[in-house]
Amino acid sequence: MKVIININVTGGIDMNTDHTKIADQMLDNFTTLKSPFKWQHDVTRWLVALAYATSDKRLDVDEIKDVMQYIKKNTGMFSPFKGETLFPISSLLTINSEQPQQEFKSMKDNYDVMKSVGFKQTTHFPIALYTLNMAYKGNDPEGYLEQTMEIYKEMRSNHPFLTGGDDYALAILLTNEQGKLDKIEENYKALKDSGFSVSNGLQMMSHILTLSDEPTKVLVSRCQEIMDQLKTNKLKVYSDYYSAIAITALIGSNTYTDDLIELAKYIKGQKQAKWLSKGLVVMLASAIVSYAATEETDQNQIMATLSVSIQAVVAAQQAAMIAAVGAASAGAAASS
């Protein structure tokens, strides 16, 4: 299965209609989640609120709790599913599966397969398994993951200090793009040379852009233009949120960049979101604009394919953020 084909979409969606409608739903979802999940980190609640807002599924707190309880009962004491990812994974399963418990059983089966081919257990394992279930629909997960491991090893050989568990999900996606491994490095070097700082965010950015068939020069130029426009509008994005720029670059068109900026300003102006960092606001806005683009009827075939990748990319970004939240919480507990 090929995840992304050549994409250079023209046009956009009026920010005052589709985009604000989704953003308002996200804001409402966040408010709904605050009380029943008060022990969850705010960033995680925002990501779940976003996931529901960009789906056709109505937010159901009891359903999320039921899936959380099911996972708790069917995993061991030290399972990575019981950490910071329990809440978001349970939410994603309720959103994207009619039978979330069955979907989780499949993820649990693939957990052992991932370990058997050499992947190390990390806090990123659950999101990687979720991505696998989205990206691969065949009957040979072991063979697929063996190919994924080869891609991951190639990543590590090129950037040993930047490559870790947060790259598992994107390696799974890139298994469908095996002929493009050289393009990852081409993207990375071109982005670095254009001024993007060396970081995990830059590596993720180079991986995301590999999902497009457009030339590296075109994609990197578009990323630079998006970054420049964000800076001009006082929405500078640091490396942790480079993925937002890459996602916007995938769908192309200056109109979408304008939509991203307008929507980010709109979200930042809402009461619930005033405390959010500019980077997180831009990431939320980029996901909304990208998801909305997949609904355009005249681009349905292309955008339906792109939608799978956008979901997985956002999930991978979510994994990185959740892991960072967990590490910060552990550090704070250790110092207290």
**Confidence band for 263, pLDDT divided at 50, 70 and 90:** very high
Question: Rounded CA gap, 132 and 126, in Å?
Answer: 10
Chain mean pLDDT for the chain: 83
Mean pLDDT, range 33-41, rounded to an integer? 92
Mean pLDDT, range 138-146, rounded to an integer? 94
Q: Which residues contact 184 (CB under 8 A, 6 or more apart)?
A: 155, 158, 174, 206, 207, 210
Model pLDDT for residues 286-323, shown as the tens digit of each residue: 989 888 876 664 554 445 555 556 666 666 666 566 65
Model pLDDT for residues 149-180, shown as the tens digit of each residue: 999 998 899 888 888 888 888 888 888 776 67
Our CA dihedral for 164, 165, 170, 171, rounded to 10 degrees, sits at 70
Q: In the prediction, which pLDDT does 12 show? A: 42
Mean pLDDT, range 12-17, rounded to an integer? 50
Question: Rounded CA gap, 30 and 270, in Å?
Answer: 12
Q: In the prediction, which pLDDT does 220 show? A: 96
Q: Please answer whether residues 144 and 175 qualify as being in contact, where contact means their C-beta atoms are separated by less than 8 angstroms.
A: yes
Mean pLDDT, range 249-255, rounded to an integer? 80
Question: Rounded CA gap, 192 and 202, in Å?
Answer: 8
- Is the per-residue pLDDT at 206 higher than 70? yes
Domain ranges (residues) in the chain: 15-330
Q: How many residues does the chain have?
A: 336
Half-sphere exposure of 62 (CA within 13 A, CB side): 0
pTM of the model: 0.85
- Is the per-residue pLDDT at 69 higher than 90? yes
Helix (H, G, I), strand (E, B), or coil: what is residue 137?
coil
Report DSSP state, residue 16. I
Question: Rounded CA gap, 100 and 103, in Å?
Answer: 5
Supply the Cα-derived Rg of the chain in whole angstroms: 19
